[in-house]
Amino acid sequence: MTASVVPADGDGSGVGRDRRRPGDGLAWLVALLPAALTLYFATLLPAVAAGESLRFAAAWVPSLGIGLTFLVDGLSLTFALLISGIGAFVTLYASLYLAGNPQLGRFMLTLQLFMVAMLGLVLADNVITLFVFWELTTLASFFLVGFDHDSPKARRAALQALLLTGAGGLALLAGLILLGSIAGSFELTEILTRGELIREHALYLPIFILLLLGAFTKSAQVPFHFWLPNAMAAPTPVSAYLHSATMVKAGIYLLARLHPAFSGTDAWIWSLTLFGAATALFAAVVALRQTDLKMALAYTTVMALGTLTMFLGAEATVAVAAAITFLIVHSFYKASLFLVVGILDRQLGTRDVDHLGGLARAMPITTAAAAAAAFSMAGFPPFLGFIGKELKYEGALAIASEPLLVAGAAVLANALMVAVAGIVAFRPFFGRARATPKTPSEAPLRLWIGPAVLASLGLLFGLAPSLIADSLVQPAVAAILGRPESIKLALWHGINLPLLLSLLTFALGLAIYAGHGALRRALATAETRLPTNADRAWDGLMDGIKRLAAWQTRLLQGGLLRRYLFTVFASFALLVGATLLITAALPAALTWPDLLFKHWVVVALIAAGAVTTARARSRLVAVCALGVVGVGIAMLFVMFGAPDVAITQLLVETLVVVLVAVAMLRLPGLEQGRRAAAGRHLDALLAGSVGLVVALLVLAVVETPMDNRVTAYFEQTSVPEAFGRNIVNVILVDFRALDTFGEVAVVAVAALGAYALLRGTLRRRSP
């Protein structure tokens, strides 16, 4: 493996490798798929803007109420456009960014798989379908984060993300199934109309907690936030796409989607507001501490997710409008900033903010894109980010329960965002030039086109907000609140409290930016003083699970056959015995049959044979006693009308005796490995209990009413339809011939297996 050419802080971008294969140059063609999808979704805009919601359905597992049903309304269309649109640019970008990487094909395929899964997630109407796509995005994320599989760091990050979001996914599944069962349908369109029923149901809280676990792990809310920064081990296009613009918003999507059915309760308001606020503030502070541009961006993503969660906790229209607008804004600027960082990494060989400066001259287009994105992020007019921020303040003040908490958190988070925007998009491009591993040069078109277009959209929609207000934001808000809404977005709202808060934000943000060197050092010192963090706690948890697994393996799998068997038999006796007792399946009284003397003789013969076999010290006695048992059973079959079975039993007994006799010529006696007396008594006790339980079980079975329909059918049709008078044989070769075929195949395979075992010996002995 050529690990040495991976850059020091490698993300597997393939910088320095050039093993282009024919066809790699055409990888950009893959971007046509998301581009075409974007155009298709765009054609749905007029209908959705007019307030319609479109539904597509196909049966999948109709018996379980699971269908491939898809719903296009304002909310899902907003997400779908973001996913396919950003997907097109990211695919285009990746086709060059990873050019020369031998795994380019695999990467492109996984990326498209992710996109389709994510689209399925946001468009699904059936909650089980939604869950399946949800898990597919988790899997795609696993492969993409672990793309650079030579690196232990990437492998660990991939596994961590998989386990954490996978566990959340399981909770989500449980929650969705419970939800479907109380709502009486798995279709979201049905569920969302039954909000009253759901909110008043006794299971509301458990379901809500399960769904929150799914949403919070996926969308990296505190305390499940730590996988997202670690996932930055993925190639930068993946970070831009999955871990900022789309996948991590799946949890947000879920909360928004279920808003009409779940919101408004104390549990909803408090959990979303508090977890969201805590996540936003925590991440904003940690973001300041980072020097790696990618990590700084990752923490601002966590902050944005916290903010979105916080606003979805509210009922007020303007708060939800703020959430949707911010979601769109964030996707634009965050994806472009990530892609810009990727450009820096590729063109300069580093993405450490302390080693970057004065790049504006050499990289004018990248600088312009970064600046536009950063202005949107910081919320300067006339960018869309400004509108988003104003809406957030307006929304925060409109929240009835805790306006001060939400507004305070929003202002603080936004101020930190201003500072981070400066650090990420200002410092590397302006000021003193610094030495970088490679000489700065402008990136090729395929790299800068994505960030440039996305950042320009932030400006375009800021100048003409009505472009998205009517077609996307308004229908999305209507879908989240479950009622028609009228939303107007505008740059200028007049002088009011939100504007004053904006000014306060800028002042605070610039102050933090100015003093961030000192702040960063202080945070770094504080961090070393912390006893632990979530990431290390996770490692502890994993180690604990491994130790537990090792411990229980040593305990349960000691490698002694008889101990395994003892466990199996003891569990059987306990479980079946307890079931018999609890269900009171035991027969009340036995009806003793009148058996003839000959019957009793045969029964006594079988019993004596079995006991003798168990007690035998000599092989000969044991084999003879076994023969007695077999012949006795054959006699029973004869007496009770089963001549075919009796003949078979006798013939097989003969062959068994021959085989055992042949084998015993070379085997030692039964004395080897004889148990100690105490062990024998314990075994006998267990054996007696198992026998007793089985006897009671059979008694209980024969007491149940006999359903003879199958046999009656065979008796009636054996001659007319199968032309055979021996019903047993007709069953074997005609009615149940497929079974018989399987059984003779098993016999043949057993013979071949034995043949292979023995012939292996012969050949090795005499080559």
Partner 1 sequence: MEPVLAILVGLLVATSVYLMLARNVLRFLFGLVLLSNAANMTIFAAGRQTSTAPPLVPPGLEGPVAEVANALPQALILTAIVIGFGLLSFALVLVFRGYQTLGTLDSDAMRTAEPLEVPSETRSEPS
Partner 2 sequence: MSSLILGAATRLLVALMLLFSIYMLLRGHNEPGGGFIGGLIASIGFVLYAIAQGTETARRALRLEPATIAMAGLGIALFSGLVAALAGAEPFTGQWWFIGGDAESKGLPLSTVLLFDIGVYLVVVGSVLTLVFTLEESV
Q: Three-state secondary structure along 478-531?
A: HHHHCCCCCCCCCCCCCCCHHHHHHHHHHHHHHHHHHCHHHHHHHHHHHHHHCC
Judged by beta carbon distances under 5 to 8 A according to partner kind, the member of partner 2, partner 1, none in contact with residue 684 is partner 1
Closest approach of Cβ 666 to partner 1, in Å?
A: 7
Tell the residue number behind the tokens 């100690």, with chain if given.
676
* Residues making contact with partner 2 (CB under 8 A): 643-644, 647-648, 651-652, 654-655, 658-659, 662-663, 665-666, 722-726, 728-730, 732-734, 737-738, 740-741, 744-745, 747-748, 750-752, 754-755, 758-759, 761-762
Identify which range of 267-275, 303-311, 574-582, 732-740 contacts partner 1 by CB under 8 A: 732-740
Interaction partner, residue 673 (partner 2, partner 1, none; CB < 5-8 Å by kind): partner 1
442 binding partner (options partner 2, partner 1, none; Cβ < 5 to 8 Å by kind): none
User: Nearer Cβ to partner 2, position 1 or 738?
Assistant: 738
For 77-178, list the strands marked E by DSSP: none
Select from partner 2, partner 1, none the partner in contact with residue 741, using the beta carbon and a kind-dependent cut-off of 5 to 8 Å: partner 2
# residues near partner 1 by CB under 8 A: 105
Site for partner 1 in 513-572 (CB under 8 A): 543, 546-547, 550, 553-554, 557-562, 565-566, 569
Least separation in angstroms between CB 162 and partner 1: 14
Query: Residue 64 touches which of partner 1, partner 2, none (CB < 5 to 8 A by kind)?
Result: none
Q: Answer left, alpha or beta for residue 593, where phi above 0 means left and psi between -120 and 50 means alpha.
A: beta
The CB-of-714 to partner 2 minimum distance in angstroms stands at 13
Burial 328-351 (b: 16+ CB within 10 A, else e): bbbbbbbbbbbbbbbbbbbbbbbb
Asked whether position 486 contacts partner 1 by CB under 8 A, the answer is: no
Partner in contact with 555, chosen from partner 2, partner 1, none, beta carbon below 5 to 8 Å by kind: none
Calpha distance 431→353 (Å, rounded): 12
Helix (H) or strand (E) holding 538: helix 534-556
Using CB under 8 A as the binding rule, whether residue 678 contacts partner 1 is answered as no
Of these partners, partner 2, partner 1, none, which one is at the site of residue 676 (CB under 5 to 8 Å by kind)? none
List the x/- string, 580-599, binding to partner 1 by CB under 8 A: ----------xxxx-x---x
Q: Is 691 in the site for partner 1 (CB under 8 A)?
A: yes
Residue number, 526 or 687, with CB nearest to partner 1 = 687
Question: Smallest distance, Å, CB 160 to partner 1?
Answer: 13
What's the min distance (Å) between Cβ of 560 and partner 1?
6
- For residue 675, the partner it binds in partner 2, partner 1, none, with Cβ less than 5 to 8 A by kind, is partner 1
The conformational region for residue 314 under phi > 0 = left, psi -120 to 50 = alpha, else beta, is beta
Taking residue 418's Cβ as centre, other Cβ atoms within 10 Å add up to 24
250-262 helix and 293-312 helix, angle to the nearest 10 degrees: 10
Contacts of 520-523 spanning 24+ positions with Cβ under 8 A? 520/288, 520/289, 520/291, 523/285, 523/286, 523/288, 523/289
Query: Residue 401 or 648: which CB sits closer to partner 2?
Result: 648
Helix (H, G, I), strand (E, B) or coil at 593: coil
Q: Which string of x and - marks every residue 625-664 that binds partner 1 (by CB under 8 A)? A: -x--xx--x--xx-xxxxxxx--xx--x--xx--xx--x-
- Residue 11 and residue 7: Cα distance in Å, rounded? 8
> Which residues 22-81 are close enough to bind partner 1 by CB under 8 A?
none
| Conformation bin of residue 289: beta by default, left when phi > 0, alpha when psi is -120 to 50 | alpha
Which of residues 32, 614, 618, 620 is near partner 1 by CB under 8 A? 614
- Rounded Cα distance, 525 and 6, in Å: 31
Q: Which of these, 296, 42, 47, 315, lies nearest to 195 by C-alpha position? A: 315
Nearer residue to partner 1 within complex by CB, 426 or 714: 714
Stretch that binds partner 1, among 36-44, 109-117, 224-232, 753-761 (CB under 8 A): 753-761
Q: Which is nearer to partner 1, 254 or 625 (CB)?
A: 625
**Cis-peptide, bond into residue 444, ω within 30° of zero:** no
- Check: CB of residue 421 under 8 Å from CB of residue 374: yes
What number of other Cβ atoms are within 10 A of residue 535's Cβ?
A: 14
Nearer to partner 2, 557 or 726 (CB): 726
Closer CB to partner 1, 29 or 695, in the complex: 695
Instruction: Give whole-number Cα distances, 507 to 62, 392, 412, 418, 513, in Å.
Output: 59, 18, 11, 9, 10
Which of partner 2, partner 1, none lies near 166, with the C-beta cut-off 5 to 8 A by kind? none
Give the shortest CB-149-to-partner 1 separation in angstroms.
Answer: 14
Instruction: Note whether 702 binds partner 1 by CB under 8 A.
Output: yes
Question: Residue written as tokens 């306006």?
Answer: 403
Q: Which does 583 bind (CB under 5 to 8 A by kind): partner 1, partner 2, none?
A: none
Q: How far is the CB of 204 from partner 1 (least distance, A)?
A: 40
| Given 761, 763, 766, 767, the residue binding partner 1 (CB under 8 A) | 761
CA torsion 606-619-617-667 (nearest 10°) is -150
Angle between helix 364-378 and 445-463 (nearest 10): 40
Kindly state the smallest distance separating residue 757's Cβ from partner 2, in Å. Answer: 9
Which tokens hold the place of 342? 């990727």
